[in-house]
């Protein structure tokens, strides 16, 4: 059976990608499989060129929908009709990944490597049941995405302001104690953790990471995944962390604190003279403190160990090729509860051009709220003061919240008010 390639400009080119068989992969043989392979490969080559982080193959009522996540936002790139198209494409992806095509409507994951235009790219395929069948997400774990070739990863490359960089560097270079990084999925937490580790990686300290999965390689740092420890020290992050602590590292990065046992170990290590850098779920800096309280951690112990908390977001930046001055529309101001006089400033927007695929945005940069714990805050946290009091003290110190930091970027014409509203949604 012939399969029509989607009628989008990018997919009409001959695909430049070649899939290396993943472990246990069966080779597609039929013409049908070849056509599907072409569709998948064309999408991969295209997504890589555009800098997409994931490709979504979705089963919809009208057939297959392919969407790319670029700069954190999904864009539909093609729809291919026919009820069977989605099922066959997803079955093909499973075959490529060495998964059993007959197993349907069950969450599955597989990792592998593909070669695209002569470059090896690590990918992760995740499958989920959905209303109209199954959805597949092909995540591109491109290690080169972190920093341009030849550059060393540092905090500056992440797009933080110079004030933020100075604070992050100061937190990263403390000899011991706990630093937490928080924010929703996809806000760049891992990259910031890596950036902070790279700042202190001078070869004199033993630095070990325990990660849920290793997303990027950092030269000179011993990176380990939770799964590496399944036979030692018990299951999960806490077991892995216990095993790592026996090796007495100077600096430890914890990919995610999700349970009380891990939180307690992290805190204990920080109190014992280790430097611990960890990601924890939450939206704003104070959520990290309340999360530790919910884990049943003694606030006095947290106050004793905590050096700082960073919450961050990634904002899409205005495309430099089509940027033009703009007076913010009243509804954009109202959406952010800003008065009309807030419209003055150097606001810009992208009119849309070929370089930004008419989105008006090109690339992203980080904004952060950074809580640096000084003696006054230490006392308040240790005394279980209400979060409102802790927040008031942090504001008195001059801590900027995420929305204020993002608005500053909009006023400087680097992003738009719409993007500020999208990324710093409150409540
Ligand atoms: Zn543009």
For residue 305, report the phi and psi dihedrals to the nearest 5 degrees.
-95, -25
- Any domain includes 150: no
Q: How many Å lie between the centroid of ligand 1 and the Cα of residue 316?
A: 12
**201 and 69 in a common domain:** no
- Any domain includes 4: no
Q: How many Å lie between the centroid of ligand 1 and the Cα of residue 137?
A: 27
Q: How many Å lie between the centroid of ligand 1 and the Cα of residue 365?
A: 16
Q: How many Å lie between the centroid of ligand 1 and the Cα of residue 349?
A: 9
Q: How many Å lie between the centroid of ligand 1 and the Cα of residue 255?
A: 35
**129 and 218 in a common domain:** no
Q: How many Å lie between the centroid of ligand 1 and the Cα of residue 339?
A: 29
Q: How many Å lie between the centroid of ligand 1 and the Cα of residue 318?
A: 8
Q: Is the pTM of this model over 0.85?
A: no
Instruction: Name the residue range of residue 364's domain.
Output: 155-423
Give the model's pLDDT for residue 148. Answer: 54
**68 and 210 in a common domain:** no
Taking alpha carbons only, the member of 246, 243, 223, 247 closest to residue 233 is 243
**263 and 116 in a common domain:** no
Q: How many Å lie between the centroid of ligand 1 and the Cα of residue 186?
A: 23
Of 116, 145, 174, the position where a domain reaches its end is: 145
**412 and 340 in a common domain:** yes
Give the model's pLDDT for residue 297. Answer: 95
Give the model's pLDDT for residue 32. Answer: 65
For residue 54, report the phi and psi dihedrals to the nearest 5 degrees.
-145, 155
Parallel, antiparallel or unpaired: strands 251-257 and 207-211 = parallel
- Any domain includes 3: no
Q: How many Å lie between the centroid of ligand 1 and the Cα of residue 67?
A: 20
- Any domain includes 348: yes
Give the model's pLDDT for residue 9. Answer: 30
Give the model's pLDDT for residue 320. Answer: 96
**163 and 107 in a common domain:** no
- Any domain includes 130: yes
Give the model's pLDDT for residue 20. Answer: 39
Q: Is 400 helix (H, G, I), strand (E, B) or coil?
A: coil
Q: How many Å lie between the centroid of ligand 1 and the Cα of residue 157?
A: 22
Q: How many Å lie between the centroid of ligand 1 and the Cα of residue 121?
A: 27
Give the model's pLDDT for residue 18. Answer: 39
Residues, beta carbon < 5 Å, ion ligand 1: 319, 321-322, 350, 353, 355-356
Two tokens, residue 181: 């990084």
Burial category of 364 from C-beta neighbours within 10 Å (exposed 0-12, middle 13-18, buried 19 and up): buried
Instruction: Specify the residue for token string 């909009």.
Output: 410
322 and 204 Cβ atoms separated by less than 8 Å: no
Give the model's pLDDT for residue 412. Answer: 94
Q: How many Å lie between the centroid of ligand 1 and the Cα of residue 152?
A: 28
CATH number, domain with residue 15: 3.30.450.90
What is the 3-class SS of 41-103, one letter each residue?
A: HHHHHHHHHHCCCEEEEEEECCEEEEEEEECCEEEEEEEEECHHHHHHHHHHHHHHCCCCCCC
Q: How many Å lie between the centroid of ligand 1 and the Cα of residue 362?
A: 7
**168 and 28 in a common domain:** no
**358 and 234 in a common domain:** yes
Q: How many Å lie between the centroid of ligand 1 and the Cα of residue 358?
A: 6
Give the model's pLDDT for residue 16. Answer: 38
Q: How many Å lie between the centroid of ligand 1 and the Cα of residue 188?
A: 24
Q: How many Å lie between the centroid of ligand 1 and the Cα of residue 346?
A: 18
**262 and 124 in a common domain:** no
- Any domain includes 1: no
- Any domain includes 39: yes
Angle at 100 (CA atoms; ends 87, 93), nearest 5 degrees: 45
Q: Is 280 helix (H, G, I), strand (E, B) or coil?
A: strand
Cα–Cα distance, 2 to 18 (Å, whole number)? 21
Of 145, 167, 182, the position where a domain reaches its end is: 145
Q: How many Å lie between the centroid of ligand 1 and the Cα of residue 427?
A: 32
Domain count, the chain: 2
**205 and 108 in a common domain:** no
Of 119, 145, 171, the position where a domain reaches its end is: 145
Q: How many Å lie between the centroid of ligand 1 and the Cα of residue 345?
A: 21
CATH number, domain with residue 190: 3.40.50.300
DSSP-assigned states of every residue in 292-317? HHHTT--HHHHHHHEEEEEEEEEEEE
- Any domain includes 2: no
Burial category of 38 from C-beta neighbours within 10 Å (exposed 0-12, middle 13-18, buried 19 and up): middle
36 and 88 Cβ atoms separated by less than 8 Å: yes
Q: How many Å lie between the centroid of ligand 1 and the Cα of residue 396?
A: 40
Q: How many Å lie between the centroid of ligand 1 and the Cα of residue 317?
A: 10
Q: How many Å lie between the centroid of ligand 1 and the Cα of residue 326?
A: 15
pLDDT per residue rounded down to tens, the chain (427 residues): 333 333 223 333 333 333 433 333 334 445 666 777 777 878 888 888 888 889 999 998 888 999 999 988 899 988 887 768 888 888 888 888 888 877 887 888 888 887 777 778 888 899 998 888 899 999 887 654 555 555 667 788 888 989 999 999 999 999 999 999 999 988 889 889 999 998 898 888 899 999 988 877 887 889 998 988 876 656 789 999 999 998 889 999 999 999 999 999 999 999 999 999 999 999 999 999 999 999 999 999 999 999 999 999 999 999 999 999 999 988 889 999 888 888 888 999 999 999 998 999 999 999 999 999 999 999 999 999 999 999 999 999 999 999 999 999 999 999 999 999 999 986 4
Q: How many Å lie between the centroid of ligand 1 and the Cα of residue 110?
A: 36
Q: How many Å lie between the centroid of ligand 1 and the Cα of residue 364?
A: 14
**38 and 85 in a common domain:** yes
**335 and 207 in a common domain:** yes
């Amino acid at each position: 059976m012939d399969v029509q390639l989607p009628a989008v400009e990018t997919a009409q080119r001959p695909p430049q990608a070649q899939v290396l068989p993943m472990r246990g992969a069966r080779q597609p043989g039929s013409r049908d499989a070849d056509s599907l392979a072409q569709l998948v490969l064309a999408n991969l080559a295209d997504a890589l060129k555009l800098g997409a982080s994931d490709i979504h193959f979705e089963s919809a009522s009208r057939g297959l929908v392919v969407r790319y996540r670029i700069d954190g936002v999904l864009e539909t790139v093609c729809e291919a009709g026919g009820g069977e198209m989605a099922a066959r494409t997803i079955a093909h992806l499973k075959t490529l990944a060495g998964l059993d095509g007959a197993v349907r409507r069950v969450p599955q994951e597989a990792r592998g490597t593909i070669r695209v235009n002569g470059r090896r790219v690590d990918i992760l395929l995740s499958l989920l049941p959905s209303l109209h069948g199954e959805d597949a997400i092909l995540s591109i774990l491109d290690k080169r995405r972190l920093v341009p070739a030849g550059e060393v990863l540092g905090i500056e490359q992440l797009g933080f302001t110079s004030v933020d960089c100075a604070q992050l560097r100061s937190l990263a270079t403390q000899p011991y104690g706990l630093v937490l990084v928080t924010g929703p999925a996809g806000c760049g937490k891992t990259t910031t953790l890596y950036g902070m580790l790279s700042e202190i990686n001078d070869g004199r300290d033993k630095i070990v990471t325990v990660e849920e999965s290793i997303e990027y390689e950092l030269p000179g740092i011993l990176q380990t995944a939770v799964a590496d420890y399944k036979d030692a020290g018990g299951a999960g992050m806490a077991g892995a962390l216990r095993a790592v602590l026996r090796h007495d590292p100077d600096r430890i990065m914890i990919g995610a604190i999700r349970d009380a046992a891990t939180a307690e170990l992290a805190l204990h290590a920080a109190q014992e003279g280790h430097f611990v850098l960890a990601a924890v779920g939450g939206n704003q800096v104070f959520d990290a403190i309340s999360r530790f309280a919910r884990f049943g951690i003694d606030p006095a112990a947290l106050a004793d160990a905590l050096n700082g908390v960073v919450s961050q977001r990634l904002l899409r930046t205005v495309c430099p090729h089509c940027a033009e001055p703009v007076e913010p529309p009243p509804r954009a101001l109202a959406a952010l509860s800003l008065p009309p006089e807030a419209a003055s400033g150097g606001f810009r927007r992208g009119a849309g051009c070929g370089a930004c695929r008419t989105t008006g945005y090109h690339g992203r940069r980080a904004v952060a709220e950074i809580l640096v714990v000084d003696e006054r805050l230490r006392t308040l946290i240790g005394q279980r003061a209400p979060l409102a009091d802790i927040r008031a003290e942090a504001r008195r110190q001059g801590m900027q919240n995420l929305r204020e930091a993002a608005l500053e970027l909009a006023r400087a014409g680097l992003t738009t008010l719409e993007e500020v509203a999208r990324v710093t949604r409150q409540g």
